[in-house]
Each structure stands twice: as structure tokens, then as C-alpha cells.
Structure 1
Amino acid sequence: MSQILRQQIEKIIQITDAEFDHIFPHFTTKKFKKHQFVIQEGEYVPNDYFILNGCLKSYFTDKNGKEHILQFGMQDWWITDYQAYYNQSTATINIDCIEDSELLCLSFQNREKLCAEIHKIEHFFRKKTNKHNIALQQRILSLLSNNAKEKYDQLLQLYPLLFQKVPKQLIASYLGVTRETLSRFKSSSK
């Protein structure tokens, strides 16, 4: 399992065996069951999570009780409530498991410690954050400028595995369409 993390890190920086042997013990492994919360709104957020296997969703619930999906997470992705994690405060969103999942947990303190000790790791996290910011901007621009079919096509092109792992009603919620509309998109794409 540690190889998945090392491969992810080495997409951005090269590290030695000794450096990885120093980095890896700063993470803890935790398993979650399907539908189990990883983060719950109002609770303290101690960790950033690297997904070893499984599938998760982050979302917030509006005052009318409607869920708004912000992000999905699959193997080799990172997920947390970043506002709460970086500010060391309570969560404003929920993250739960769509399927049984195994995560590597990195506390804020351990992240800061690693960044202070190994400059390359600080570079890795900066680059990772930059990529996250770009993806977030692209999602916002897509929400503002694309119609529902274009958003569907873009999601399918970027993340085809999502459509195998995530139930249709959650994909529809993420895109802001009904399940019936999603079914029409699927039939017109065949």
C-alpha cells in the first residue's frame, strides 16, 4: 500500500528510499465502511486523506436538506475539508464513503513537520495544492459556462472510472441534473 503513496509523490518529485522511509511513518492507515463518515460537518478536521482504495464523496447539505456534492475521491486522490484542515477548525462539509475505503491519514502537524524537514516534500504539497486549485477553477468555470450535457461529457472524458464506481443518482447530483436527464445523456453517448 505504501507504494501507491510513493508513486503519487514521484509523479511530482523524486525521493530516495531513505526519504520515503522517513516520510511514510508520518501517516496512519484507517479503514472505513461504506456510508461511514470520514469527516462530519461541525467536527474538528485533523487530517488530509490519501485514498489507497475505495471511493468517497464530499458534500454540504443546504438549509433545505439538499445535498450538494463538491468532489469525489478515488484511489490515488487526496480529500479533506481544506478550509478546516488548514485553519485547524471545524468542518463545513461532510465526507463519507461510497464504498469500503482505506485511507492514509496525514495530520496537519505531521505535514508541517515533514515540510520543515524535507524541502522536496514542501515542493510536492505546493504543486499538489496548485493542481487542486486549477481543478477547482475549471469546475467552477464549467458550472458557470457549460450546459448539463457538456458537463456530463467533460466528466466522462476526465474520469471514466467514476461512472463505474459512483451510483447514478450521485453523478446526477454532482452535475446538478436529475437521474432521468443523466440516463438520457448516457443513451445519447452510445
Structure 2
Amino acid sequence: MSNILRQQIERIVSLTDEEYAFVLSHFTSKKFKKHQIIIREGEYVHNDYFLLSGLMKSSHINPEGREHIIQFAMQDWWITDPQAYHNETKATLQVDCLEDSETLFITLENREKLCREMQKMEYFFRKKTTAGYIALQRRILCLISSTAKERYENLLTQYPGLFQRVPKSLIASYLGVTRETLSRLANNN
């Protein structure tokens, strides 16, 4: 399973077997059960998780108790509360498992150490962070400038399998619509 991480890294930089073994030595493997919360709002965040299998979500609960889905993460994706992880502060997001999940995680200390000791990995993480910023910008622009129908169709095109794996209420939260609106969009498609 850890070859999934190697494949992702090697889309950006090539590694010898020895280099990959060194990279992997900075990660820890951990399995989580469906519904398990791995990051709680208000707690310190120590890890960035790479999914080998399963499905997770990050979300924020507003003062009225409404959940706003920030991200879904599936195999070959990273998930954490980036602000809390990088600033070593308390989480403003919650991350929990929608399916049993297997991960490799890296602490900030190990990530910094790895980047200091291996230029290739510093480059890899910089490229992944930049790609994450770009994806976040696209998501924000989509939320503020697209119709609900356009957001729905975009998600359906990008991640068609997600609709079979995630409850409609969570898809609606991610799209910023009500469950009823999502049902209308699905029925008109």
C-alpha cells in the first residue's frame, strides 16, 4: 500500500529505492474506523495524513451547528487542518472518517527534517502545497461565481464515484446547498 505514496511523489520527483525507504522512515502507518474523528476542533494538530485507502472529510461547524464540508479526501489525497498543522495551533476544522481508512501520516517535525535532509522532498511538498492553494482558489471561485447546478455538475464530472460513497446531506453541505436543492439538481440531471 505504501507504493501509493511513492507513485504520488514520483509524479513530481524520481526516487531511488534507498531514497524512498528514507522518506518512508519519516511516516507512521495508522488505520481508522468509519466515524472515527482524527482531528477535533480546538485540539492541537500534529499530523498530515496521506490516505492509502478509505474516505475522510474535513469540516467546520458554525455556531448554529451547521456543518460546512471543506474537503473530501480519498485514496492518494492528503488531509489535515493546514493552518493548525503548519502554525502548531488549535484546529478550526474537524477531520473524520466516512469509511474505514488506512493512512500514512507525517508530523510537522518529521516533514521539516525530511525537507532539510532531502531537497527532492522539499520540492515535492512545495509543489503539492502550491497545487493545494490553486485547488482552494478554484473551489472558492466556484462557490462565489457558479450556480448550484454548475457546482453540482462540476463535482459530478470530477468525482463521479463520490456520489455512491457519500451521503447526500454531506454532498449538499460541500456544495453549499440544502438537501432538497441537491435532490432537485440530481433529478434534473
Same fold (TM > 0.5): yes
Matched residues, percent identical? Answer: 62
Shift of 1:49: 0.4
**Secondary structure of the residue that 2:13 maps to in structure 1?**
coil
Shift of 1:180: 2.3
**Cα distance in 2 for residues equivalent to 1:5 and 1:161:** 21
- The answer to whether 1:96 aligns with 2:96 is yes
Matched with 1:148 is: 148
**Cα distance in 2 for residues equivalent to 1:67 and 1:179:** 13
Matched with 2:22 is: 22
Q: Is the 8 A contact 2:143 2:176 kept in 1?
A: no
Shift of 1:126: 0.3
**Cα distance in 1 for residues equivalent to 2:69 and 2:39:** 14
**Cα distance in 2 for residues equivalent to 1:174 and 1:84:** 21
**TM-score (norm: length of structure 2):** 0.97
**Cα distance in 2 for residues equivalent to 1:105 and 1:120:** 19
**Cα distance in 2 for residues equivalent to 1:179 and 1:66:** 13
Moved over 6 A (4+): none
**Cα distance in 2 for residues equivalent to 1:153 and 1:13:** 33
Structure 2, unaligned stretches of length 5 or more?
A: none
**Cα distance in 2 for residues equivalent to 1:87 and 1:53:** 27
**Cα distance in 2 for residues equivalent to 1:132 and 1:107:** 18
**Cα distance in 2 for residues equivalent to 1:82 and 1:176:** 21
**Cα distance in 1 for residues equivalent to 2:114 and 2:130:** 19
Aligned length: 189
**Alignment root-mean-square deviation, CA:** 0.9
**Cα distance in 1 for residues equivalent to 2:123 and 2:136:** 20
**Secondary structure of the residue that 2:57 maps to in structure 1?**
strand
Letter in 2 for 1:97: C
